Amino acid sequence: MSPFYYKTAFETLQELRKSGERNPELVVTLGGKIIYEGYTGKLGDEVWSVYEQVFIAALDYRNDALAETCLERLEKKFPKSPRVKILTGMKLEAEDKLDEALELYDEILKNDDSNIATIKRRIAVFKAKGQDQRAIEALTHYLDAFYNDAETWLELSSLYLNYHLYQQAGFCLEELILLQPQNHLYHLKYAEILYTNDNITNINLALKEFCRVLELCEDHVRALYGVKLCTSRLLNLSSSSSIDFKTISDLNSLASERLSKVYSLYSKNKVGNSNNELRQIIHDWLNESDKSY
Amino acid sequence: MTTQNQASLYVSEKIVQNVKTITFIRSSMSAITGSAAGILGLTGYYGFIFYGITSLFTSFLIWSAKAQAKPGLYFRNGLDVWTEGVFGGLFSYVLFWTLLYGIVHVYD
Amino acid sequence: MSHQVLSTLAESQSLYLDPAIRDWVLIPIMVVMVLVGVLRDQITVLLGGGASTKKATLKAIRESKVLMRGAALRNYGNHIPPSSFLNRKNYLTNAYKKGDYLKNPASMNQTVNPMTDPQGMEMMMEGMKKNIAMIIPQTVIMGWINFFFSGFVLIKLPFPLTLRFKSMLQRGVETPDMDVTWVSSLSWYFLNLFGLRSIFTLLLGEDNAADGMREMTAMSQMTASPTGQPQDFHKLHLAESENLELTPHSWELNDIEHRLLSRYGKREQQKVIDSPENFIENNEKNAIEATSSSSEHKGKNRRKSGKH
Residue pLDDT, tens place only, C267-292: 665 544 444 444 444 444 444 444 44
Task: Give contacts of B8 with chain A, Cβ < 8 Å.
Answer: 180-182
Residue C11 predicted with pLDDT over 60: no
Neighbours of chain C (3+ CB pairs under 8 A): A, B
Domain boundaries, chain C: 256-307
Instruction: Provide the pLDDT confidence category of residue A104 given band limits of 50, 70 and 90.
Output: very high
pLDDT at A252 over 80: yes
**How many residue contacts between A and B have a Cβ separation below 8 Å?**
6
C63 to chain A, closest Cα gap in Å? 8
pLDDT at C67: 87
Query: Average pLDDT of A130-155?
Result: 92
Whether residues B4 and C198 touch (CB distance < 8 A) is answered with no
CA-based R_g, chain C, Å = 32
Average pLDDT of chain C, as a whole number: 71
Q: How many domains does chain B have?
A: 1
Contact by Cβ (8 Å): B95, C196: yes
Around A240, how many Cα atoms within 13 Å sit in the side-chain half-sphere?
A: 0
B89 and C198 in contact by Cβ < 8 A? yes
Q: What confidence tier does A194 reach under pLDDT thresholds 50, 70, 90?
A: very high
Q: What pTM did the predictor assign?
A: 0.74
Count the Cβ atoms, other than its own, within 10 Å of residue A38.
9
Q: For residue B5, which residues of chain A lie inside 8 Å, CB to CB? A: 181
pLDDT for res A191: 95
- List, in order, residues 6 or more apart from A94 with CB less than 8 Å away: A59, A62, A67
B97 touches chain C (CB under 8 A): yes
Question: C286: part of which helix (H) or strand (E)?
Answer: helix C276-292
Domain housing B85: 11-106
* pLDDT number for residue C253: 87
Q: Would an 8 Å CB–CB cutoff place B22 in contact with chain C?
A: no
Read off the pLDDT of each residue in A86-108 and give the average, rounded to a whole number. Answer: 93
User: Does some domain include residue B3?
Assistant: no
Q: Give C246-268 pLDDT, tens digit per residue.
A: 888 888 888 888 888 888 877 66
Distances C23 to A182, B7, C165 between C-alpha atoms, Å: 60, 54, 26
> Nearest CA of chain A to the CA of C43: how many Å?
21
Chain B residue with the nearest C-alpha to that of C78: B4
Q: Which of B5, B8, B9, B11 is the best mutation test for A, with the most CBs of A within 10 A?
A: B8
Let me know if residue B1 belongs to a domain.
no
> Which range is least confidently modeled, A239-243, C100-104, C267-271?
C267-271
Secondary structure of residue C140 in the 3-state scheme: helix
Q: What pLDDT is stored for residue A126 in this prediction?
A: 94
- Rounded Cα–Cα distance for residues A155 and A146 (Å): 14
DSSP state of A218: T
Give the pLDDT band (50/70/90) at residue A263. confident
User: Nearest chain A Cα to B11, which residue?
Assistant: A180
Phi and psi at A93, nearest 5°, equal -60, -45
Cβ within 8 Å, pair A177-C80: yes
For A160, residues 6+ apart whose C-beta sits below 8 A from its C-beta are A136, A166, A168, A169, A172
On whether the CB atoms of residues A121 and A105 are closer than 8 A, the answer is yes
**Subunit contact C66:A147, Cβ cutoff 8 A:** yes
Whether B49 is covered by a domain: the verdict is: yes
- In this predicted structure, the answer to whether residue B73 has a pLDDT above a threshold of 90 is no
Going along chain A from its start, the domains and CATH numbers come out as: 182-293 (1.25.40)
**Sequence-ordered list of residues with C-beta below 8 angstroms from that of A224, at least 6 positions apart, any chain:** A214, A255, A258, A259, A262
> Which of B20-29, B74-83, C92-101, C291-300 comes out lowest in average pLDDT?
C291-300
- B101: in domain: yes
Alpha-carbon gap, residue A18 to A30, rounded angstroms:
16
Answer yes or no: do C191 and B28 touch at CB < 8 A: no
Interface confidence, given as ipTM, is 0.81
3-state secondary structure A11-45: HHHHHHHHHCCCCHHHHHHHHHHHHHCCHHHHHHH
Task: Report the SS3 class of residue C156.
Answer: strand
Asked if residues A184 and A217 have their Cβ atoms less than 8 Å apart, the reply is yes
pLDDT at C38 over 50: yes
Instruction: Indicate whether A130 pLDDT > 70.
Output: yes
